[in-house]
Amino acid sequence: MNFNEEDIRSDVGFVCIGQAAGNIGLLFEEKGYNVLYINTSSEDLALLKNAKHVYHVPNGEGCAKDRDKAKYHLANDIDHLLDLIETKVPQKNVFVVFASGGGTGSGISPYLLNILVEKFSTDEDGELSANPAKLFSAITILPSDSEPLQPAINSYSCCKEILDIENLGTVFFIDNNSMEDKMKINKVFVNELDTVLSIPALHKSVKGNVDKAEIKKVIFETHGMGKILCRPRERGTAECIIHDLKDKSIYAPASLNGTVLYYVMSTTQDIDKKSIFVEFGEPLDTFQTFNEKNNIVLMTGMSFPLDRLKGISTRVKAKRDKIEDSYEGLIENGLIDDVSLTKKRKKKVTTTTTPTGEVKRAPKKSAMELLAQYRR
């Protein structure tokens, strides 16, 4: 499918990092989007049949869920990766897709996103540019509670880094706890996001329209979490929409503080928006149009899913003592003397001393400077 220039989908691209993201990328590429696949594993890339833009990170043999190894590969290839993204993904609005619990995607994506935002989206003062070369949004996958402990550890660390990125657009947290069939979750998400992006081109009404600038604003220029719901005509009441957003959503639940900056709605009939606002939050603005087939709701600028992430942390801590106990015998026998995976580290505060002897917190380092510690 080729999108016309008036369709925002023609100016939307995807950078998919790691195996899980590759599966999602293939579904978007089938719909006509431009996708760049990045992986440290050539074996994973070989499974991407008919993928157009594929890149194997030099010297990569996979990361075996080791986030530091992924950062090492990124640090030694960052300049080439930035050039590659600029040339292979010329679109101005870019989604970076990754699984938070893996190795390659989890390790590379937060640092890469931070660098991309600093390079293409911000001005000299570190603020979102009035005319950015590119804007970025993130799509990440949270591991289910049935998965092993390492993905949970990786996911928490990855999401913590993502939440610290300033001027990043909407983050969609796909939650693998939502259903057992992960491939079905992927299909639901791809169809929902594609449906939202198609609204300006396909949904027209004398009662109101949603244009490209509004979609761009609420997704790529709005910080926070996003959720989408698409339901058939017969589930077009406020009651059904509230129920499905709360109980049948593929996304991580937002923290319950009633924060939603924007709603985009394309519905088959007028609905009781006030009931939805009472449940999820009064918005700064709502963009509304109508269609004859589906009821579509996009919410952005939501609070991040801190309760879900804290739940991951709680699960890790609950099993940490057991893991340390299992290693205790090895320590006593002299086989190992430390288990860095489960040890808490004190957070270091970097300070600097002025010529007058005053001690101050050191200036915040750029993402590129932070990444430099992983270079060979």
In a domain, 264, yes or no: no
By percentage, how much of the chain surpasses pLDDT 90?
Answer: 78
**Average pLDDT score over residue span 222-251:** 95
- The β-bridge partners of 91 are none
pLDDT band at 282 (very low <50, low <70, confident <90, very high): very high
CA distance 174 to 184: 12
Q: What pLDDT is attached to residue 341? A: 45
In a domain, 260, yes or no: no
pLDDT tens digits for range 101-140:
999 999 999 999 999 999 999 998 889 999 999 999 999 9
Which alpha helices (DSSP H) does the chain contain, by range?
Answer: 19-30, 42-46, 67-75, 78-88, 104-120, 149-163, 182-197, 199-202, 212-220, 238-247, 273-280, 306-332, 367-371
CA distance 90 to 288: 30
DSSP 206: T
262: left (phi over 0), alpha (psi -120 to 50) or beta: beta
3-state secondary structure of 28: helix
In a domain, 318, yes or no: no
In a domain, 352, yes or no: no
The CATH number of whichever domain residue 101 belongs to comes to 3.40.50.1440
pLDDT band at 360 (very low <50, low <70, confident <90, very high): low
In a domain, 35, yes or no: yes
pLDDT band at 361 (very low <50, low <70, confident <90, very high): low
For 186-192, which contacts have Cβ atoms below 8 Å and span 24 or more sequence positions? 186/23, 186/24, 186/27, 187/27, 188/250, 189/24, 189/139, 189/228, 189/250, 190/24, 190/27, 190/28, 190/31, 191/230, 192/228, 192/229, 192/230
More confident residue, 358 or 13: 13
pLDDT band at 343 (very low <50, low <70, confident <90, very high): very low
Q: What pLDDT is attached to residue 339? A: 40
**Average pLDDT score over residue span 59-83:** 95
CA distance 115 to 368: 6
CA distance 24 to 26: 5
In a domain, 49, yes or no: yes
189 CB-near residues (< 8 Å, 6+ apart):
24, 139, 172, 174, 228, 250
The model carries a pTM of: 0.89
Bridge-based pairing of strands 224-232 and 294-302 is antiparallel
Q: What pLDDT is attached to residue 359? A: 60
Rg of the Cα trace of the chain? Answer: 22
In a domain, 326, yes or no: no
More confident residue, 53 or 374: 53
Q: Tell me the pLDDT of the chain averaged across its residues.
A: 90
- The β-bridge partners of 289 are 266
CB-CB neighbours of 285 under 10 Å: 12
By percentage, how much of the chain surpasses pLDDT 70?
Answer: 88
CA distance 44 to 39: 7
In a domain, 114, yes or no: yes
More confident residue, 339 or 169: 169
Domain containing 14: what range?
A: 8-224
Q: What pLDDT is attached to residue 344? A: 43
Q: Which two tokens stand for residue 81?
A: 């990766």
Q: What pLDDT is attached to residue 166? A: 94
More confident residue, 376 or 165: 165
Q: Which two tokens stand for residue 254?
A: 């937002």
- The β-bridge partners of 33 are none
DSSP 186: H
For 255-260, which contacts have Cβ atoms below 8 Å and span 24 or more sequence positions? 255/303, 255/304, 255/305, 255/306, 255/307, 256/307, 257/281, 257/303, 258/282, 259/224, 259/301, 259/302, 259/303, 260/299, 260/300, 260/301, 260/302
Whether 348 has a pLDDT exceeding 80, the answer reads: no
Q: What pLDDT is attached to residue 337? A: 47
pLDDT band at 376 (very low <50, low <70, confident <90, very high): low
pLDDT tens digits for range 285-342:
999 999 999 999 999 999 999 999 999 999 998 887 777 766 665 555 444 444 444 4
Q: What pLDDT is attached to residue 226? A: 97
367 CB-near residues (< 8 Å, 6+ apart):
111, 114, 115, 118
More confident residue, 327 or 184: 184
Number of domain units in the chain: 1
**Average pLDDT score over residue span 91-95:** 98
Q: Which two tokens stand for residue 133?
A: 């070369």
Q: What pLDDT is attached to residue 40? A: 96
pLDDT band at 161 (very low <50, low <70, confident <90, very high): very high
* Cα 297 to the center of its chain, rounded Å: 19
**Average pLDDT score over residue span 257-270:** 91
